[in-house]
Copies of this chain bind each other. A is one copy, B any other.
Amino acid sequence: MRRLSTQDQNFQQQFAELLAFETVNDPELLKTVDQIIADVRAKGDVHVLALTQQFDRHPATTFSQLELTQAQLQHAFDDLSDDVRQALELAANRIREFHQAQKQDGWTYVDALGNTLGQKVTPLDRVGIYVPGGLASYPSSVLMNAIPAHVAGVPEIIMVVPAPNGELNPLVLAAAYLAGVSRVFTIGGAQAVAALAYGTATIPQVDKITGPGNRFVAAAKRAVFGQVGIDMIAGPSEILVYAEGENNAEWLAMDLLSQAEHDTVAQAIFITPDQDLLEAVAEKIESHLADLPKAEIAKTSIANRGALVLVKDRAEAIQLINQVAPEHLELCLDEAEAMSAEIRHAGAIFMGRYTPEAIGDYCAGPNHVLPTSGTARFSSPLGVYDFQKRSSLIMCSEQGVKTLAKTADTLAQQENLDAHARSARYRYQS
């Protein structure tokens, strides 16, 4: 496994190379996706059905067979074993509790002139949630996307999930039932994104689309951005673990591997000022790489994108962490809370030795949809705020408007906008 030290002559260059990851915009892919979107807009349901038969080998012969009933969702939920149902319920309840704290309310105030100003907060009318099918079909993703929308008060939550060969993960349907999803269509790919963005005879047009997907889905989301809102385009998953003092090297190694098993391009970085701990973690990673079911994926991820970084001290680590702006950050030390105050950029911060990243993926409460590839510099975890929007409120009184109208008149004249100036002037010369 790659070892770096901040004492290396060319450390900054090596570290920058480690972080470099650029998604290539394949022009052929973009052309294909643009064509799918245009065709779905022109032909609607018929085309979505045809592509679903073609790409997903779905046995449906009519479009209505692509919609699941609430009874089917409930059936999937009722069929769960006790331990799985309890785990799913505990996760859903905790996610709901955390996200309720994010809900924002409107406010107004009256200024010194007697004018009322404020901000109104409303939920979106209808949102679409993309859930990947096949191997990466995760019930936890259903909870993490649908519950914030539900807490925000979105009346209609439309879920799409491809069903290769007509097959579905029942746990995904159970999660949809639990999370309050309104309707489920078993479609996927760019055609599902296009159908949600523009609507078809059967699929209602939504206002925002969230959720992860393959490169066709990512390209389609980027293409419909503006027509509808989207969440971030997700890159590969990452974890950065910082540890100092007494630590269990085996725990740390497994936390790093829990990201590495996601994807061959996932990134696991370990930072410590403790050379012995660094070597102990390296050894545990090697030994577990032998016996993990997803060893092949994890090995490639660790070999190509993983790193063990030796730093002089905590201050140097803080600097590197803020440079990375990691999706997941574990701070495994006694002073984890104090150190977290120095972290400016991270999707989620897991503090102390008893907070493995994996519990954040499922049931800690905060969202597991987090900014990747350094985008924590400017973006946030998926949250209730993604399903609410604001309107400004302004109400002037007959007296209160005079000062403002005079000011607007003066400035509008400077900008050569005469109708603006006159419109304001009417209110103070009246």
Contacts and interface: CB of A to CB of B under 8 A. Distances in A.
Contacts of A53: none
Interface stretch (A1-9, A66-74, A157-165, A363-371): A363-371
A241 to B, nearest CB: 11
Interface in A330-375: 336-337, 340, 343-352, 354-367, 370-371, 373, 375
A426 interface: yes
A353 to B, nearest CB: 8
B412 A358 contact: yes
Contacts of A107: 101
Contact of A404 (B359, B390, B391): B359
A359 B124 CA distance: 28
Given A117-B365, A379-B389, A423-B251, A411 B258 contact: no
A211 interface: no
A219 B310 CA distance: 42
A91 interface: yes
A410 B89 CA distance: 12
Given A87-B407, A351-B393, A361-B412, 8 more contacts: A120-B343, A225-B225, A292-B418, A294-B418, A354-B400, A358-B412, A359-B427, A376-B391
Given A115-B364, A119-B102, A364-B115, A349 B248 contact: no
A107 B102 CA distance: 10
A2 B292 CA distance: 70
Interface stretch (A56-64, A226-234, A272-280): A226-234
User: Chain A contact residues (Cβ within 8 angstroms of B): what range?
Assistant: 35 or more
Contacts of A260: 419
Contacts of A261: 417-420
A88 interface: yes
Contacts of A350: 394-395
A383 B377 contact: no
A397 B353 CA distance: 9
A109 B101 contact: yes
Interface in A380-423: 380-381, 383, 385, 389-398, 400-401, 403-408, 410-412, 414-423
A325 B419 CA distance: 24
Interface residue SS majority, chain A:
mixed
A377 B232 CA distance: 18
A363 B251 contact: no
Contacts of A365: 111, 117, 394
A15 interface: no
Given A363-B411, A366-B394, A403-B90, A426 B248 contact: yes
Given A251-B426, A348-B391, A352-B395, A84 B410 contact: yes
A207 B10 CA distance: 26
Contacts of A421: 358
Given A101-B109, A408-B358, A255 B423 contact: yes
B97 A111 contact: yes
Interface string A91-116: 10010011001100001010100011
Given A171-B414, A358-B423, A418-B294, A392 B367 contact: yes
Contact of A122 (B344, B375, B390): B344
Contacts of A232: 226
A361 B344 CA distance: 34
A208 B379 CA distance: 10
Given A117-B98, A261-B418, A417-B258, A91 B363 contact: no
A240 interface: no
A212 interface: no
A252 to B, nearest CB: 9
B254 A359 contact: no
A235 to B, nearest CB: 9
Top 7 nearest A-B pairs by Cβ distance?
A366-B392, A229-B378, A351-B395, A348-B392, A87-B410, A380-B390, A358-B420
Contacts of A101: 107, 109, 119
